[in-house]
Amino acid sequence: MAVRTRRLTGTGLSEKAARRLTITVLLAPAILVILLLFMGGLVTGFLRSLGYFPLIGLNDFNFDAYSIIFTDNGFIRSFILTFHIAFTSTLIASILAVASAMLLRPAFRGKRFVQFIFSLNLTIPHLVGAVGVLYLFSGSGLVSRLATGAGLIDSPAGFPAMVNDPWAIGIIIQYVWKEIPFIGVIVLAILLSVGEDYESVARSLGANRWQAFRNVTLPLIMPGVVSASVIVFAFTFGAFEIPWLLGSTFPKALPVLAFESYTDVDLAARPQAMAMAMVIAVMSSLMILAYMKVSRRYVRS
Amino acid sequence: MADTRIEPTAAGAGGVAPEDKERRFSWRITGRWVGITGLLAFLVAPIVPLFIWSISFRWFYPAILPTEYSARAWTEVITPHNDVLGVAWNTALIALVVTALSILLGVPAGRALGLYEFRGKRLVEWMILAPIIVPGLAVVLGIHVLFIRAGLSNSIPGVILVHLVPTLPYMTLVMSGVFANYDTDFELQARSLGASRWATQRLITLPAIFPGVVVGALFAFIISWSQYVLTLLIGGGQVQTLPLLLFGFVRSDPAIAGALSVVFILPAVIVLLLSSRYLSGDNAAVGGIGNI
C-alpha cells in the first residue's frame, strides 16, 4: 500500500504525509477565497462598525453606532419585521414543500411535465418572481382586476394591501413561491431514495396513513427539511431586493435599512450601516444555530 | 403501497388491481389531482402577467386583458441601440466565469470533504457553510471597502469575485455529497492498469462525478445570473447586468419590465432543459444539499 501510494503521489513522502498534502492542496484554493472575501469582508465590516476609519481620521474604537441603532425604535421595528418575514416564509414554504413532495412522489401520468414545472421554478430569478407578484397582487394588479370583474370590489382601493404592506404579505408570497420547489426537490430526492417500504411496514402493522407519515416518513425526511429550511431562513432574513421592491416604506426590512444607510450621502451613517450588517450576520447565525440544535433533538427523539 | 396505485384512467396503463375501498380511494385520487393542479397554478401564476405585459399596449384597470397589443416592448428590447442583448451577454459571461471558477475551486474542496476524515474537518465545513448562513448583504459592505482599496470595485473582475461568495459554498456542498458516495478504488485500479493521472481523471473520475458537477454548476450559474445587490454595490453602476436593468423599469414601464423578465428567465430555462435529467430527484447531488 505504501509503495503504491508513493508511486501514485510521485513523491518520496510517507503515506500519512502524502494524505495530508493531498487534503491541503485540494482545500487550499477554496478556503483561501472564502477567507479573503467572506472573512475579510466580515472583519472589515466589524472594524468599520466600531468607528475605525483611518482614512477620514477616525482611529479609535467605540460602540456609538451600536448604541444609536439599538435605541432607535425604527431599527427594532425593522428587526421584528425581518424576523417575521423569514420565519413565516420558511414555515409556510417548508410545510407546503413537504406536502408537494408527497404529492409528486408516486408515479402518475404527466409526472415528468409536473416535475419539470416544479424544478423550473428553481431557475427563475427571485427578482422576476417579485415583479410577477407585484403585477399580480398590487392594487391595480391582475388579481385585483379579476376581483373587480367578479364584482367583489369596485376600485383598486377596495383591494386589500398585499404589496408594500406593513405585514409583508407580498414578500412572503414571493418567498413561498420561490422556496417550495427548493425545499421540495431536496425532500423528493430523499423520499425517492428511502422508498416506501418502511411506510408499508408501518401500515401493515396497523398504522393509519397519518400515523405512518408522522412517525415513519417525517423523521426520515426531517434532516433534509431542516437543512433546506436553514438555507431558506438565512436567505430570507438577509435578502435585499425582494423587500426593496415589495416592502413597505416603514418599517423597512433590515437589509434594506443597512443598504440605505451605507449608500447615504452622509458618511456618518456608514458605521451604523456596518453595525446593522453585523447584527444581521450575528442574529441570523444565532437563530440558525438555535434552530438546528432544537430540530436535531426533535429529529433524534 | 396503496400510495403508488393510480386509477386506471389516470395511469393510462391499467392493470391495477381494483381497490376494495372504492369510494375513499377515488377521493384520494381527486385530492391528489386538485393538489397538483393547485400547486402548478401557484407556481406558474406570477409568470403569467409578465408575458401579458410584454405584448400589451393599452392595459388599464379594470381590463382583465390588454385592450390593445403591441410589439413595442420587444422591439425596444431587441433593437441594438438599447443594448439589452449586450447587457444580457455581459450577465451570462459573468455567470459563466463564476460557474467555471466555482467548479475549479469547489470540486477539489468537495473531494477533500467527501473522501477524507482529518483534524479540523468540522472547522473547515463550518467555514464553507458560513457564507450560506450569513446573508450576503452583511459581508458585501465590508467587501466593498476592501475592493475599493484593492481597485476591484466598479469592475467586472470585482463582481465575479464577489459572486463567488454565495456560489462556491453550494458547489462545494454538492460535490462533498457526491464524493461521500464515491469509491476511489476505481481510480487506483485504473492507475495500476497503467492509465496516466490525466486519463484517470478524464475516464474514471469525471464520468462518476459528472451529474453532481452539473447540478452544482446549475446552482452556481443561476445564483450569479440572478444576483442583484452584490452586483449593484460592487459594480457601482459601472457593471450593468440584467437584474439591474430590469429593476429600473419595474415601476416606470411594465411592458419593458415584462419583456426583460422573459429574457431574464430564458437562459435559465435552457440550462435547466439541458440538465433536467440530472435534477430529477434520484440524483445524490441534490440530496447533498440536505447533508449540512
Task: Using 50 as the pLDDT threshold, list the residues of chain A that sit under it.
Answer: 1-6, 301
Count the helix, strand and coil residues of chain B and give each as a percent rounded to the nearest 5: 75, 0, 25
| Whether B141 and A41 lie within 8 Å, measured CB to CB | yes
Nearest CA in chain B to A202: B1
Q: Is the pLDDT of residue B202 over 80?
A: yes
Tell me if chain A has a CB within 8 Å of the CB of B104.
Answer: yes
Q: pLDDT digits over B122-150, tens only?
A: 899 889 988 988 988 999 999 999 999 99
Cα(B243)–Cα(B228) distance, integer angstroms:
6
At B10, is the pLDDT very low, low, confident or very high (cuts 50, 70, 90)? Answer: very low
B59 touches chain A (CB under 8 A): no
Residue A13 DSSP label? -
Question: What distances in angstroms separate CA B41 from CA A109, A118, B35, B63, one per listed residue?
Answer: 18, 11, 10, 21
In A, residues 24-43, which contact B (CB 8 Å cutoff)? Answer: 25-27, 29-31, 33-35, 37-38, 40-43
Looking at residue A2, its pLDDT comes to: 43
Any chain B CB within 8 A of the CB of A116? yes
The answer to whether B9 faces chain A, any CB pair under 8 Å, is: no
Least Cα separation, residue B120 to chain A (angstroms): 11
Q: Which residue, among A38, A164, A193, A230, would best test binding to B if mutated, counting the most B CBs under 10 Å from its CB?
A: A38
At A300 the pLDDT is: 53
Rounded to an integer, the average pLDDT of B164-173 is 93
Phi, psi of B83 (to 5 degrees): 60, 30
% of chain B residues with pLDDT over 90: 41
Query: Average pLDDT, stretch B150-170?
Result: 94
* Per-residue confidence (pLDDT) for residue B24, from 0 to 100: 56
Lowest mean pLDDT segment, chosen from B20-24, B71-75, B210-214? B20-24
Give yes or no for residue B260 having a pLDDT over 70: yes
Q: What is the pLDDT of residue B14?
A: 41
Interface test with A, best of B113, B139, B232, B276 (most A CBs within 10 A): B139
pLDDT score for B62? 80
Under DSSP, the state recorded for A72 is -
Secondary structure (3-state) at A15: helix
Burial environment of residue A249 by CB neighbours within 10 A (0 to 12, 13 to 18, 19 or more):
exposed
Identify which of B104, B60, B74 has the alpha carbon closest to the alpha carbon of residue A29: B104
Say whether B3 and A196 touch across the interface (CB within 8 A).
Answer: yes
Task: Tell me the C-alpha distance between A237 and B116, whole Å.
Answer: 33
Query: Closest partner residue to A30 among B109, B135, B142, by Cβ?
Result: B109
What is the residue-averaged pLDDT of chain A? 87
Q: What is the DSSP string of B199-239?
A: HHIIIIIHHHHHHHHHHHHHHHHHHHHT--HHHHHHHTTTS
Question: Are A132 and B283 inside 8 Å of each other by CB?
Answer: no
From B141's Cα to the closest Cα of chain A, the distance in A is 7
Residues 226-245 of A with CB under 8 A from B: 227-228, 230-231, 234-235, 237-241, 245
DSSP string spanning B136-184? HHHHHHHHHHHHHHHT-TTSHHHHHHHHHHHHHHHHHHHHHHHHHT--T
**pLDDT value, residue A10:** 53
pLDDT of residue A255: 93
Q: Quote the minimal CA–CA distance from A136 to chain B in Å.
A: 6
The residue of chain A nearest to residue B259, with distances taken between CA atoms, is: A128
Tell the burial category of B75 from Cβ atoms under 10 Å away from its Cβ (0-12, 13-18, 19+). exposed
How far is the C-alpha of A2 from the C-alpha of A110, rounded, in Å? 55
Matching residue, cell 449540512:
B292
Most confident segment among A60-69, B53-62, B161-170, B208-217: B161-170
Indicate the SS3 state at residue A204.
helix
pLDDT of res. A132: 95
Query: Which stretch of DSSP H or E encloses residue A7?
Result: helix A2-9
Q: Check if B150 contacts A (Cβ < 8 Å).
A: no
Give which of B201, B209, B198 is closest to B285, Cα–Cα. B209
| Distance between B153 CA and the closest CA of chain A, angstroms | 13
Closest residue in A to B102 (Cα) is A30
B1-13 mean pLDDT: 42
| Rounded distance between C-alpha atoms, residue A259 and residue A266, angstroms | 13
How many CB contacts within 8 angstroms connect chain A with chain B?
Answer: 317
Q: Which of B24-28, B161-165, B214-218 has the lowest mean pLDDT?
A: B24-28
B141 touches chain A (CB under 8 A): yes
| B7 pLDDT above the threshold of 50 | no
Which residues on chain A are in Cβ contact (under 8 Å) with B10? 108-109
pLDDT of residue B8: 42
Please give the pLDDT value at position B1. 40
Comparing B168 with B24, the larger pLDDT belongs to B168
For residue B290, the chain A residues in CB contact (below 8 A) are: 186, 189-190, 223-224, 227-228
The 8-class DSSP code of residue B260 comes to: H
Mean pLDDT across B193-219: 88
Mutate to test the interface with A, among B39, B40, B187 (most CBs of A within 10 A): B39
In this complex, the residue of A120, A199, A228 whose CB is nearest that of residue B272 is A120
Q: How far apart are CA A281 and CA B44, in angstroms?
A: 33
Note whether B142 contacts A45, CB cutoff 8 Å: yes
Answer yes or no: do B287 and A224 touch at CB < 8 A. Answer: yes
